[in-house]
Structure 1
Amino acid sequence: MPKNKGKGGKNRKRGKNEADDEKRELVFKEDGQEYAQVLRMLGNGRCEAMCIDGTKRLCHIRGKMHKKVWIAAGDIILVGLRDYQDDKADVILKYMPDEARLLKAYGELPDTTRLNEGIGAGLDEEDDATANDYIEFEDEDIDKI
């Protein structure tokens, strides 16, 4: 049998965490980059995102982030625009929720951008407070059952 030269299998790699807890410097967009909000995940390392400039783009998650940085619908990301394809872009960075709030406070993101909830939900904050997901029974109704 061949001698094992590695230090473990996939479970060892899965447990590895590259110190995500530490604070990192806030990265602003440069020339050829744009902020975007993920509309939906498509699989195969791709997502559909609405850029701040109003264009919906198909975004490719770069290999360095693949299976290390998890992106979900509603996340704020930084995409690199392509010179030769305007409808496609590359995901460069995912902003943490506190970083996204800072970007909005600095005026980098428009005030209409919704940060806290996913796009797929489709509910406004006012709808959540008034929606009743339960039925209230009275004592007489329970006796009839």
Structure 2
Amino acid sequence: MPKNKGKGGKNRKRGKNEAEDEKRELVFKEDGQEYAQVLRMLGNGRCEALCIDGTKRLCHIRGKMHKKVWIASGDIILVGLRDYQDDKADVILKYQPDEARLLKAYGELPENVRLNEGNALEVGCPKIIRAFRD
């Protein structure tokens, strides 16, 4: 019989996010980087994102974020642009909803960007909102 060499199974690996509640410092873009909004997830560690400069790019989620930081459509991300491929980029960071609101307040994101705050009631159903208020 084989000896168990690891420290546990997949359930042990699941509970690694202890530092989720901590506030982190807001990261602004540098040269060679751009803000983007995820249009759709493609699978295989890739997504399609619309950058603030108006270009639609195929973005690759880097290995440090893969299976640790979950990215969904509508999220604001920071991408690193490639010198040799203009239509592809690499995801560097995913902004939390409050960080994205701060970026918009600082003027880093344009006013026409719709932030997905995670509350589906505010995004598309004004009749339901009125029903809850009454």
TM-score range, shorter chain: 0.7 to 0.9
Number of matched pairs? 121
Rounded to whole Å, the distance in 2 between the matches of 1:68 and 1:117 is: 20
SS of aligned partner of 2:47 = strand
Cα displacement (A) at 1:112? 0.4
For the aligned residue pairs, the C-alpha RMSD in angstroms reads 2.0
Rounded to whole Å, the distance in 2 between the matches of 1:47 and 1:99 is: 21
Rounded to whole Å, the distance in 1 between the matches of 2:14 and 2:93 is: 21
Cα displacement (A) at 1:113? 0.4
Rounded to whole Å, the distance in 1 between the matches of 2:98 and 2:117 is: 14
The answer to whether the 8 Å contact 2:97/2:117 transfers is no
The answer to whether the 8 Å contact 1:74/1:117 transfers is no
SS of aligned partner of 1:101 = helix
Cα displacement (A) at 1:11? 0.9
Cα displacement (A) at 1:42? 0.4
Structure 1 residues 59, 120: closer, same or farther in 2, change over 3 A? Answer: farther
Rounded to whole Å, the distance in 1 between the matches of 2:59 and 2:101 is: 22
Rounded to whole Å, the distance in 2 between the matches of 1:53 and 1:16 is: 36
Deviations 1:2-49 (A, max 9, x none): 321211011110122141110000000001000000000000000000
Rounded to whole Å, the distance in 2 between the matches of 1:15 and 1:32 is: 34
The answer to whether the 8 Å contact 2:50/2:56 transfers is yes
Rounded to whole Å, the distance in 1 between the matches of 2:68 and 2:14 is: 9
* Equivalent residue number for residue 129 of structure 1: none
The answer to whether the 8 Å contact 1:39/1:120 transfers is no
The answer to whether the 8 Å contact 1:75/1:94 transfers is yes
The answer to whether the 8 Å contact 1:35/1:77 transfers is yes
SS of aligned partner of 1:104 = helix
* TM norm structure 2: 0.85
Rounded to whole Å, the distance in 1 between the matches of 2:98 and 2:111 is: 16
Rounded to whole Å, the distance in 1 between the matches of 2:63 and 2:94 is: 13
* Equivalent residue number for residue 29 of structure 1: 29
* TM norm structure 1: 0.79
Structure 1 residues 106, 43: closer, same or farther in 2, change over 3 A? Answer: same
Task: State which structure, 1 or 2, has the greater radius of gyration over its C-alpha atoms.
Answer: 1
Rounded to whole Å, the distance in 2 between the matches of 1:84 and 1:117 is: 34
The answer to whether the 8 Å contact 1:73/1:120 transfers is no
| Divergent runs of 4+, >3 A | 117-121
